[in-house]
Chains A and B, each alone.
Chain A
Amino acid sequence: MTALFQVDRLKKSFGGLDVTRDVSLSLQKGDRVALIGPNGAGKTTFVNLVTGHLRPNSGKVLMDGEDISTFNPMLRVRAGLVRSFQVTRLFADMTPEQHVALAILQREGKSGRVAGTFQAMPDVMRETYAILETLNLVGLARTPVSEIAYGQQRLLEIALAMALRPKVLLLDEPAAGVPHSDTFLIENALAQLPDDLAVLMIEHDMDLVFRFARRVIVLAAGEIIFDGSPREVTEDARVREAYLGSYGHASSAA
């Protein structure tokens, strides 16, 4: 059975520095995978390679068995590979309603229309409000994004990803910048994602990782050093060493 999404021996170096070394992984429908690793492990580089914002030195990215390595970022989105951003990227003057509607229009190939408004398209309005309601954003539907709280902007990032109906979703630190007390909002939003969607989440908040992920991949110094269940990851010696250095041994000895 071919994997829904597959990364095959991806390599990238900047000058003499290898930031991604032979990274291979695959996702199936419905996967909930967390990608973790210490600072500088190459997580963001990995996302940029997969989404086409950086060109790898070698290696392939496949969707449904089709090689999308030569696709630009836009074509990869159209193939069903959608990402969210670590730092929120939204349109400051526009409302959540307009954001979600624009994403839906784009997905449906209607964003080139030069007449009519999305408010006059019942299907688009219905879906927009359904998504906003799932994420509890209906009350803010008509408030410009520059006036809403950062935590809610993070939710809107997830709303946009949902509106694009991806097959594979890469979440780049969805809880970054959100106060710890509000993380549950993000968590609830993630729980609303469709069951057959494959999700790869990069995250530092370990509580969130352990509650969300059914599989954990650990990246350190550009290499995958662990790929397994969340239960095993805490016991893995290499992971401990990557995170804690020699202290890892000390604490296990103690």
Chain B
Amino acid sequence: MSITNTSATIIQPLPAASSNWLRDLVGIAIILAAAIVGYFLFPNNLALLTRMIAIMLFVLSLDLVTGYCGVATLGHAALFGAGAYAAGIAAAHFGVTEPITMIAIGAVGGAVAGLVSGVVILRGHGLAQLVLSIAIIHLFHEAANKASNYTGGSDGLAGITPDPILGLFEFDLWGRTAYVFGIVLLIVIFVLLRILVRSPFGLLCRGIRQDPVRVSAMGASVKRTLIKMYVISGVVAGIGGAFNAVSTQVVGLDSLSFTNSAEALVMLVLGGVGTLFGALIGTIVFIGVEDFVSAANPFHWLTIVGALLIAVVLFAPKGLYGTAAALVERYRKGGK
């Protein structure tokens, strides 16, 4: 009796927990290595890499609702743009130029936008949900356009001049400070999200994606859980938007556009949904290819990006990371 008990409880719990942390550490190491390589390979193009970081945060936030909860949305830029405008308006109109405070304000802005769009979008299912999300992004876009006293309308919001970080590191012309700041933000958020997705709450969200009826038969509220995830997603997207405002010192209406939403979804699908790693890889590949191809062939670059997407969706439907992970898994099983 006692033997079966101990064997049952000790079996495997420890290896699972430590392998999780190992993967996190590997993830951090890879991000750091990629950041350093990027820094030395493209010293004159740090602005592009910095934009990549902002978009990575945005795509990570989309992965939370789409990859982990199964909510289809084409309006996620509302959360990103809300964060960008919240931080930008605080700096340009209210003199809040301390960068970390600006990021925090962006997080709050994103959370509020997440709450609003979550409450609206989650009223629908399937196609209705998708249409609601498109409506949301157009409404946000139009609201920002009309409130031009605060947002600068279609001219964009300029006059954002963040202070040195912690009073020590000034934002330089080459964008080195912004780049390092972004990498630090990305790593912190990535680790927090890894903790989030394997928490009981993350498990509940995965359950909802697979069968909401079963989840409610367990006595859990599907709607409340999803709205909570939407708010968390808003915090992450808002931080991404605020970081974009801090690093570029402008906020444009395009941050609240349908195109921005759709591109984020494309990047996520390209990298692979529901893994967090996929969101990072998809963003790098998409923006990297876009930048490279548009410089190499300014006339047909969109065609080439389109062809790449079709190739990935047809031949690697789980996305780049998902397909690679599946191959590794198969190789491991074959090796045993």
Contacts and interface: CB of A to CB of B under 8 A. Distances in A.
Given A91-B211, A94-B207, A112-B228, A105 B219 contact: no
Interface residues of A, number: 44
B200 A119 contact: no
A74 B206 contact: no
Tell me the dominant secondary structure on chain A's binding face.
Answer: helix
A138 B20 CA distance: 22
Contact residue range for chain B? Answer: 20 to 34
Given A94-B206, A94-B207, A117-B17, A102 B9 contact: no
Interface in B1-53: 4, 8-9, 11-13, 16-17, 20
Contacts of B169: none
A160 B219 CA distance: 12
Contacts of B210: 91-94
B219 A164 contact: yes
B199 A106 contact: no
Central interface residue in A98, A110, A111, by most chain B CB within 10 Å = A111
Contact of B200 (A83, A85, A113, A132): A113
A142 B8 CA distance: 12
Decide if the interface of chain B is mainly helix, strand, loop or mixed. Answer: helix
B218 A77 contact: yes
A106 B13 CA distance: 20
A113 B201 contact: yes
A43 B216 CA distance: 21
Contact of B196 (A73, A114, A122, A142): A114
Contacts of A51: 217
B178 interface: no
Contacts of A92: 210
B214 A114 contact: no
Given A93-B210, A114-B199, A133-B4, A82 B217 contact: yes
B203 A102 contact: yes
B154 interface: no
Nearest to A93: B210
Contact of A89 (B198, B213, B225, B232): B213
B218 A102 contact: yes
B221 interface: yes
B7 to A, nearest CB: 9
A129 interface: yes
Nearest to B195: A115
A73 B220 CA distance: 10
B204 interface: yes
Given A112-B201, A114-B196, A125-B13, A107 B207 contact: no
Contact of A117 (B20, B220, B228, B232): B20
Interface in B84-99: none
Interface in A63-100: 73-74, 77-78, 82-83, 85, 89-94, 98
Contacts of B196: 114-115
B217 A111 contact: no
A93 B70 CA distance: 13
A120 B220 CA distance: 22
Q: Which of A91, A120, A160 has the most CB of B within 10 A?
A: A91
B204 A106 contact: yes
A91 B14 CA distance: 24
From A83, A106, A114, name the one whose CB has the most chain B CB atoms within 10 angstroms. Answer: A114
A9 interface: no
Interface in A186-231: none
A160 B203 contact: no
Contact of A120 (B17, B225, B228): B17
A103 B218 CA distance: 6
Nearest to A76: B219
A120 B13 CA distance: 8
A118 B219 contact: no
B213 A129 contact: no
Interface in B143-197: 195-196
A143 B245 CA distance: 46
A78 B219 contact: yes
A29 interface: no
Nearest to B203: A102
A90 B200 contact: no
Contacts of A89: 211, 213-214, 217
Contacts of B198: 117
A126 B217 contact: no
A116 interface: yes
A71 B12 CA distance: 40
Contacts of A160: 218
Contacts of B202: 114
Given A105-B204, A106-B219, 10 more contacts: A77-B217, A77-B218, A78-B219, A89-B213, A102-B200, A111-B203, A111-B204, A119-B17, A130-B8, A164-B219
Interface of A: 51, 73-74, 77-78, 82-83, 85, 89-94, 98, 101-103, 105-107, 110-120, 122, 125-126, 129-130, 132-133, 138, 141-142, 160, 164
20 contacts: A51-B217, A82-B219, A93-B210, A94-B206, A102-B203, A105-B203, A105-B204, A111-B203, A113-B200, A114-B201, A115-B199, A117-B17, A118-B200, A119-B17, A120-B13, A120-B17, A125-B13, A130-B8, A160-B218, A164-B218
